[in-house]
Amino acid sequence: MEDTGYNMIHRWNVGDALRRVARRQPGKKALVFGERSYTYAELDELVDKVANAMVALGATPGSGVAIYAPNSPLYLAAFFAAGRIGSPLVPINALLKGAEVTYAITKSRASVLLAHSALIPALETRADAIIGLAGKACLDASVEGFAPFADMVAAASQVPVETPVEGNAAAVILMTSGTTAFPKAVVNTHLNFYAALISGMLDLGVNKDEVMLLGLPLFHVGGLYLLFAGIASGATMVLLPRLDPGDALRSITTERVTYISFPATVWIGMLGHPDRPAADLSTVATCLVFQYMPEETFRAWMAAMPGADWINYWGQTETTALGASTLRGELTSLLGAPDPIGSAHAILEVRIVDEEMRDLPDGGIGELVLRGPAVTPGYLEDEAANQQLFAGGWHHTGDMGYRDPETGAIYFVDRKKDIIKTGGENVSSQEVEDVISRHPGVAEVAVVGTPDPYWVEAVTAFVVPKAGVELSPEDVVAFAKERMAGYKAPKRVVVMAELPKNPTGKILKRVLRENASQ
């Protein structure tokens, strides 16, 4: 470990980014959360107090600080504070419960747990369930067995913590979504975040003049990336406690938001929300979309906000949210295929390869592999998975795509595991979703492959009808067969009231497969 003086002079640390902006623009509004706002100087002071409160709870350099809560100013402060003291933040999905939370804490070797009172009942109650915790605190209330963290912060010193922290040390440890086993623990380093910041400025245009609406949960890599990019650039962040279309529309109007980033499901929810006609969207200049959104939804939003630039985005937890995105002004010309993701981000190289890692010609569908300084050093203590992840000297995304021979743009086709192999043919679930989404009675759709004795896998569509619409499976199948090859059309359609989703709005296809197999 380098000495403190040298490290503090030369280091890359996410906790320093806020301090440096606060020195440049102390009186500028940094954060808005409901009725409360903070200047950069006030937010920097809060982070120092949170850092000292974490140390008082037992956080030490290298040991994790687990946080199990919805978005809040204290959550935001915990991200920067953990960086300053050299403790990786371990954000835990607020939907996890019991053994799932315990696994995240023990796998990351967290020494401190910060939890919201509404989620504490979901923790395991056995005294010995969570091994290795030096301290635990409740962020918002007084709960037996948990220290009152807000009181600790109020009483804490605001003297900055000066701890040597290497740039390649973990800034956060994030749990991936599990499929057949417990999740993997992805490490994102301080250097990863600073590399991602370069992309935020160059590829996404984040700058100090933006008022950015942040509704993504901070236990998601996209939320942390946009938070860091916005704060490190000196922008004003409008933080929502959760992803809610109505809250988003109201915040855009009241805070004069200029920059919005949401998953497709929230954009769809805002489009049909009763508050949208009255919302003032005139200040919005940049709209970022991640996860596939149907073409007609894109075009409806483009008509509603003709002055805004639209960016379609693809990234992963393992790459600190980076990957590829469309350039400003080009998305309109690329729509028409399922998911145009444009060009690789500035600090990354992207290849499209076959199973033997040979480059495919333009138009050929293969796996997207990449490399660059935003790529994780690997999964925590999982050498076998890391060897597979980095085979051939490239990060394997597990995502399939192709490069358009005319425009040079990359198109996302599907997750490798979501390609449906039916009757000897490969079918992109996303292509089928794109067709079915055009049905006038369909509000949402998800397509997966389900076991079938004849087809091996049957193309199966789960659809949610629009309000007041009676939708029959036969109608959906007929609609699809009129617009695509028969083998791609769904063999089975299930009409549902709602699709299972995670807190970021991502549809949980794993759950649909499990339910269909029962």
| pLDDT tens column, 21-30 | 999 999 999 9
Superfamily per CATH, domain 419-517: ANL, C-terminal domain (3.30.300.30)
- Whole-number Å distance between alpha carbons of 349 and 335: 24
pLDDT, greater one: 33 or 455: 33
Q: Is the pLDDT assigned to residue 128 strictly greater than 70?
A: no
Higher pLDDT: 125 or 290? It is: 290
Residue 82 has pLDDT above 80, yes or no: yes
**pLDDT bucket at 490, cuts 50 / 70 / 90:** very high
pLDDT at 518: 62
Superfamily of domain 243-416: ANL, N-terminal domain (3.40.50.12780)
- The strand ranges marked E within 170-317 are 170-175, 185-189, 211-214, 236-239, 259-263, 286-290, 309-315
Q: How do the domains of the chain map onto residue ranges?
A: 4-189, 243-416, 419-517
Asked if the model's pLDDT at residue 311 lies above 80, the reply is: yes
Tell me the pLDDT band of 69, cut-offs 50, 70 and 90. very high
pLDDT level of residue 504 (50, 70, 90 thresholds): low
Average pLDDT over residues 50-62: 96
The mean-pLDDT minimum among 136-140, 160-164, 427-431 falls in: 427-431
236-239 and 425-427 strand pairing: unpaired
Q: In what order do the strands lie in the sheet with 64-68?
A: 147-148, 135-138, 110-115, 64-68, 89-91, 170-175, 185-189
CATH number for the segment(s) 4-189: 3.40.50.980
CA atoms within 13 A on the CB side of 377: 16
pLDDT at 353 over 60: yes
**72-78-82 Cα angle (round to 5):** 165
Query: What 3-state class would DSSP assign to 276?
Result: coil
| 4-189 and 419-517 share one fold | no
Q: Is the pLDDT of residue 131 over 70?
A: no
pLDDT bin (cut points 50, 70, 90) of residue 430 is confident
More confidently predicted of 161 and 426: 161
101-105, 182-186, 408-412: range with highest mean pLDDT: 408-412
pTM recorded for the entire structure: 0.86
- What's the chain's average pLDDT? 91
pLDDT of residue 424: 65
At 439, list the tokens. 């049905």
d(CA 136, CA 123): 12
The pLDDT value recorded for residue 427 is 84
Residue 340 and residue 97: Cα distance in Å, rounded?
36
| Residues in CB range of 216: below 8 A, 6 or more apart | 222, 223, 226, 243, 261, 262, 263, 504
Q: What is the pLDDT of residues 194-251, one digit of tens each?
A: 999 999 999 999 999 999 999 999 999 999 999 999 999 999 999 999 988 999 999 9
